[in-house]
Amino acid sequence: MLRIEEKLTMRRVRRSIHAVILLALVSALAHGETRKEFRYTVGHVTLSVINQYGPIVVKPAPGNQIIVVAVLHSDKVEIDQAQNRNRVDIHSHLLPGATADSGQVDYDIQIPAGVSVVLRSANGRLRAEGLRGDVTLESPNAAIEVADINHSHVRVKTMTGPVRLLNIRDAHVEVTSVSGDVVLNAVNGPQVRVNESSGHINYDGDFGYGGEYRFSSNSGDIEASAPESASMEVEAHSEKGRVVNDFQLEPKHTSFVVKAGSAFAGTMNKAASSVRLFSISGKIHLKKR
């Protein structure tokens, strides 16, 4: 009797699993999703991807092929693609009647070392991870993430989208934003620049590689954290906001008046890196980690 009940239970489980799989397939077909894959054999080229709606995620791959997997959410969008001698271009092409939902394309891309990428999206998340080439990411509103990149140029442009940079070493970094907050964690290199209008800037690192670090925001706050072992020459100035310093700095001559609460300047250890923090009305805090 027990074995009969077990068999009946297993049959019910199998029927439930089959029903779930069938529903998933029907749902995918109902939404009209289409999967496309493109492969390009390349050397040192630039990959450009423009996507009106939907995320673009780029990760590293071995070998010498760019692999592009695109999921189109409907027949209201097409993919235009071309490979020239030193470029690969991918462009989501919206058809009449396309909306933010029906025009969405999700890109999952793998690239070999030495390929530079230029990613543009109106509102889809942009992420570049573990790449060994220059990276440019642009979006007016989407979240932008860059992680685990060394010895490259990283350029980010946004209006309102949040920006997060993580574990970027020995790189030239440029971030331009209007109101999106910018977070930099373990980011260093010969040049690291962030220009903001009203968004906040948060840096947590060591100001290493004898680099130039320039963080400026018109009205947003700037918070920079570093260890006591950091080797830096620093100037911080806010015309209308409060300025706070947690370190014991050796005094240095400046071109502006060092006034407690609104500006400070000095050096630490061997002063290998140059750090400039500036805001018109935002608060500046140099924190000891």
Residue 5: what pLDDT?
Answer: 54
Q: How many Cβ atoms sit within 10 Å of the Cβ of residue 217? A: 27
Q: How many residues does the chain have?
A: 289
Residue 26: what pLDDT?
Answer: 42
Residue 32: what pLDDT?
Answer: 80
Residue 27: what pLDDT?
Answer: 45
Q: What is the DSSP letter of 95?
A: P
List the structure tokens of 182.
């910018």
List the structure tokens of 156.
């980010």
| φ/ψ bin of 148: left (φ > 0), alpha (ψ from -120 to 50), beta (otherwise) | left
**Residues 235, 259: contact at Cβ < 8 Å?**
no
Strand partners of residue 88: 47, 83
247 class by beta-carbon count within 10 Å (0-12 exposed, 13-18 middle, 19+ buried): middle
Residue 252: what pLDDT?
Answer: 75
Walk along the chain (289 residues) and give the pLDDT tens digit of each residue: 445 555 445 555 455 544 444 444 444 444 589 999 999 999 999 999 999 999 999 999 999 999 999 999 999 999 999 999 899 999 999 999 999 999 999 999 999 999 999 999 998 999 999 999 999 999 999 999 999 999 999 999 999 999 999 999 999 999 999 999 999 999 999 999 999 999 999 999 999 989 999 999 999 999 999 999 999 999 999 999 999 999 999 887 666 566 667 899 999 999 999 999 999 999 999 999 8
- Alpha-helical (H) ranges within the chain are 2-31
If you search the block for the tokens 């706050």, which residue do you land on? Answer: 221
